[in-house]
Amino acid sequence: MVNTVIPRVQISRKATAAPELSIRGLGDVAFYAQIRPWRHRAESEAASTLVEWLEGLALVAGIEAPTGEDAAIPFVAATTPSLLQAGSGTWDPIIGVEYEVNRGRFVAYHQTTAFLKIGESSAGLNPGDALITVTGAGYRVMDNVLPTLSIDTILRGSESLGGVAISNTGAVLTFLTPGVSIKLRDRIGIEGSARIPIYRSVVATQLTPGIRWKVGLVIRF
């Protein structure tokens, strides 16, 4: 399966002694493929129990392009992602693994995805590698409606600007994420979720992350 994610980003920063800053625009477009090596083997009559369990395993590979506007003067050391800009300004290879189990109307899943930064933005910023894990479950209340609840964790490495490491960057953030997926047609659907921060471990002083809303149209090819 080939996926394309075209995000529209809206970021707001609120501080007591500073005016509110709001950024809107196209984010970094991601292209990635999901390969399920054991899916067709599991569908055969002679498939073993091990192969049937491996049916839900998917390998993920792709790239995130720097299509979002990056700042000429980066605002670093805020939170994950610390840069207050629509895009990272770097080419980011994506590698990961996913596993999903379907038992009747019940669905359980896990995803581990790494975003690896290559080079620097035009302003000399490398926003640091990131590892995202998602573990969750859902129950189909209707054939085309799947509410879900997951625990999402983001681990981001230290940033650098002009080749110099920025000391008070990097973070571990954990979110409780309720969501819903609605299938409209065979390959078309909509998804929405809200990442609610429940834990954070940061270096030095950083901005407190708020709820991260996500709404999107899904088209599968």
* pLDDT computed for residue 185 by the predictor: 83
Res 176: pLDDT:
97
Question: Token match 């490398």: residue?
Answer: 126
Range of the domain at 94: 2-219
DSSP string, the chain: -EEEE--EEEEEEEETTEEEEEEEEE---EEEEEE-TTHHHHTSTT--HHHHHHTTEEEEEEEE---S---SS---SSSSS-S-SSS-SSBEEEEEEEEEEEETTEEEEEEEEEE--BS--TTSEE---EEEEEEEEEE-SBTTEEEEEEEEEEEE---EETTEE-TT--EEEEEEEEEEEEE-SSSEEEEEEEEEEEEEEESSS-PPP--EEEEEEEE--
Give pTM, 2 decimals. Answer: 0.81
**pLDDT value, residue 197:** 93
* Rounded Cα gap, residues 100 and 116, in angstroms: 24
Residue 97: per-residue pLDDT: 96
Give one word for 22, left, alpha or beta, with left for phi > 0 and alpha for psi -120 to 50: beta
- Taking the C-alpha atoms of residue 218 and residue 183, their distance in angstroms, rounded to an integer, is 9
Cα torsion 130, 126, 85, 169: sign: positive
Give the model's pLDDT for residue 206: 64
**One digit per residue, pLDDT tens: the chain, 221 residues?**
777 888 888 777 776 666 677 778 888 888 888 888 776 655 555 556 666 677 889 999 999 988 877 666 566 554 444 556 777 788 899 999 999 998 899 999 999 999 998 888 877 888 888 999 999 999 999 999 999 999 999 998 888 878 887 777 788 899 999 999 999 988 788 999 999 999 988 766 566 677 888 888 877 76
State how many domains the chain has.
Answer: 1
pLDDT of res. 98: 95
Looking at residue 80, its pLDDT comes to: 42
